[in-house]
Amino acid sequence: MTCKNTEIALQLLSAFLNATLFLCVCRCLYELGWTKEALECLNYFKAKFPDYAKSHACETLDRDIKAAIFSRTENGREIADDKYVVCLWMSPGTEPIATPQWRSG
């Protein structure tokens, strides 16, 4: 029974670490000023890890991103600093969160 408990603990730890690292990527995008991409990443995070969607860290980041987006809009139009959005791949064989595209602005 001990081996089974250890296996379950490792699976839970793996899920927790994946969620933590994923949320860290969203936070990094936000801190780089890529608020639109950070919000897309966070929405993907909430869908992929619903158990962590109501965590304090997730809700705080959501609030920060939405405040930044609100402050970076002018008459409903986004003020863009960057011209290019990078492609973010989470792991080999998965769909990208953000696809490369040119921003207008």
Q: Return phi, psi of residue 38, to 5°.
A: -65, -40
Token code pair at residue 39:
């919000």
Residue 15: the pLDDT is: 78
Residue 89: the pLDDT is: 43
- The tens digit of pLDDT for each residue in 17-73 reads 888 888 999 999 999 989 999 999 999 999 988 988 899 999 999 999 999 888 876
Residue 88: the pLDDT is: 45
Is 12 or 32 the better-scoring residue by pLDDT? 32
